[in-house]
């Protein structure tokens, strides 16, 4: 089996790649497991050294749209395509043209290239909770259900919803076997901050644990829908392995969400690292970020995901402990217990 991952050298892409390589095989679309022969990682940067050390991995480095237009992607040989590459929420709101190029033109071009290749691969598209939004006159229900109508309220959410519709129509036409996975905000991400409006939901924990100051741009009572990195990857894997009947006729699925508040996240940080950590948080509201994050829903009834065996994380304290276990080199403060 051959697998291609766009954005394959980013945090989630690299984590997904490692999980696929560790499994060694995949039961694609409900079929019998087949060994993974080739894993192409498409990104602007080179793959991490540990992934390149695996003979099954090949990096395809460069601008994704240019690679598609130039015919550089081996889609005629790809059984499974993960489309994770995207411009993120904050930068899409700041630069409309960037978002349209990265999230709409590129997604359309990739689907067209899959069509031209004639292989009808399983196509897993990473969508987002941002397809849902609440605005005056367009309120969201208190709990988002599987059949709640997406009403995005920012450019990123609109672009992701356009991507979902493109995937749905290309699936209907038989060009791909599409599955759009609506990811919750993933926390805690290691590394450095990115341009996502939700980036602070990792930095709020990551930076203090590293002994660095951080800014929280929203009030403590702000409610959010989160998933751990491990839960996000489980959702992406399940989207590939579910049979068509099991996945169902609607291509987009809401992944399970842990509902928590910023205050509860800070409480978990305090329980783990005490005053030394929470004293490093500066509370300075940013109206633009608050407007974006505050428009996203925080409560989901993800029954379709549950039927696929996907459940939310136990609690934020468990997510934070998982981050510490996986990233000991990033922890500079003394931890309790």
Among 130, 126, 90, smallest CA distance to 296 is for 130
Sequence-separated (6 or more) residues with CB below 8 Å from residue 91: 98, 99, 195, 196
Confidence of residue 337 (pLDDT cuts 50, 70, 90): low
The pLDDT of 188-210, averaged and rounded, is: 92
The pLDDT of 192-213, averaged and rounded, is: 93
Coil, strand or helix at 223: strand
The pLDDT of 213-241, averaged and rounded, is: 97
The pLDDT of 3-18, averaged and rounded, is: 97
Give one word for 71, left, alpha or beta, with left for phi > 0 and alpha for psi -120 to 50. Answer: left
Give the rounded percent of residues in the chain with a pLDDT score beyond 90: 93
Question: Which residue did the predictor score with more confidence, 137 or 234?
Answer: 234
Question: Which residue did the predictor score with more confidence, 191 or 164?
Answer: 164
Please say if 156 is a catalytic residue: yes
Confidence of residue 17 (pLDDT cuts 50, 70, 90): very high
Supply the range of the domain harboring residue 121: 2-184+229-254
Per-residue b or e along 223-260, where b marks 16 or more CB atoms closer than 10 Å to that residue's CB: bbbbbbbebbbbbbbbbbbbeeeebeeebbbbbbbbbb
Per residue in 293-329, pLDDT tens? 988 999 999 999 999 999 999 999 999 999 999 999 9
Q: Does residue 284 lie within any of the structural domains?
A: no
Q: What is the mean pLDDT of the chain?
A: 96
Residue 237 CA: distances (Å) to CA of 3, 231, 304 = 12, 10, 15
Confidence of residue 137 (pLDDT cuts 50, 70, 90): confident
Q: Does residue 93 lie within any of the structural domains?
A: yes
pLDDT at residue 231 is higher than 80? yes
pLDDT at 197: 86
Q: Does residue 216 lie within any of the structural domains?
A: no
Per residue in 56-109, pLDDT tens? 999 999 999 999 999 999 999 999 999 999 999 889 999 999 999 999 999 999
The total domain count for the chain is 1
The pLDDT of 191-214, averaged and rounded, is: 93
Confidence of residue 196 (pLDDT cuts 50, 70, 90): confident
Residue 226: phi, psi to the nearest 5? -125, 160
Among 33, 28, 25, smallest CA distance to 244 is for 28
Per residue in 95-104, pLDDT tens? 999 999 999 9
Q: Does residue 290 lie within any of the structural domains?
A: no
CATH at 234: 3.40.50.720
Q: Does residue 260 lie within any of the structural domains?
A: no
Catalytic residue among 123, 125, 132, 156: 156
Among 295, 232, 306, 299, smallest CA distance to 261 is for 299
Question: Which residue did the predictor score with more confidence, 336 or 152?
Answer: 152
pLDDT at residue 277 is higher than 70? yes
Q: How many CB atoms lie within 10 A of CB 119?
A: 16
Q: Does residue 299 lie within any of the structural domains?
A: no
Sequence-separated (6 or more) residues with CB below 8 Å from residue 281: 204, 208, 213, 214, 215, 216, 266
pLDDT at 194: 85
Judge contact between 227 and 256, C-beta under 8 A: yes
What is the residue-wise DSSP string for 8-34? Answer: TTSHHHHHHHHHHHHH-EE-GGGS--E
Q: CA 184, CA 132: separation in Å to the nearest integer?
A: 11
């Amino acid at each position: 089996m051959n697998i291609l991952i766009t954005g394959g050298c980013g945090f989630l892409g690299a984590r997904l790649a490692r999980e696929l390589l560790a499994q060694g095989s995949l039961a694609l679309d409900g079929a019998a497991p087949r060994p993974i022969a080739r894993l192409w990682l498409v990104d602007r940067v080179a793959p991490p050294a540990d992934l390149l050390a695996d003979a099954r991995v090949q990096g395809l480095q460069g601008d994704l749209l240019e690679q598609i237009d130039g015919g550089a992607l081996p889609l005629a040989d790809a059984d499974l395509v993960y489309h994770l590459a995207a411009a993120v929420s904050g930068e899409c709101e700041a630069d409309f043209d960037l978002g349209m190029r990265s999230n709409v033109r590129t997604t359309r071009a990739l689907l067209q290239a899959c069509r031209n290749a004639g292989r009808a691969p399983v196509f897993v598209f990473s969508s987002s909770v941002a397809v849902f939004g609440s605005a005056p006159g367009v309120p969201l229900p208190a709990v988002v259900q599987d059949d709640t109508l997406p009403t995005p309220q920012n450019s990123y959410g609109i672009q992701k919803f356009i991507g979902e519709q493109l995937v749905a129509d290309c699936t209907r036409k038989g060009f791909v076997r599409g599955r759009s996975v609506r990811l919750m905000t993933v926390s805690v991400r290691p590394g450095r901050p990115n341009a996502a409006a939700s980036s602070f939901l990792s930095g709020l924990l990551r930076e203090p644990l590293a002994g660095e100051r951080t800014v929280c741009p929203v009030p403590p009572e702000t409610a959010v829908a989160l998933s751990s990195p491990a839960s996000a990857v489980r959702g992406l894997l399940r989207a590939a392995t579910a049979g068509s009947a099991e996945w169902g006729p609607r291509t987009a699925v809401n992944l399970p969400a842990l509902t928590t508040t910023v205050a509860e996240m800070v409480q978990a940080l305090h329980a783990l690292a005490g005053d030394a950590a929470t004293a490093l948080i500066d509370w300075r509201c940013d109206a633009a970020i608050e407007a974006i994050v505050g428009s996203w829903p925080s409560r989901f009834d993800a029954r379709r995901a549950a039927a696929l065996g996907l459940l939310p994380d136990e609690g934020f304290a468990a997510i934070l402990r998982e981050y510490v276990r996986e990233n000991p080199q990033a922890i500079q403060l003394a931890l309790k217990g």
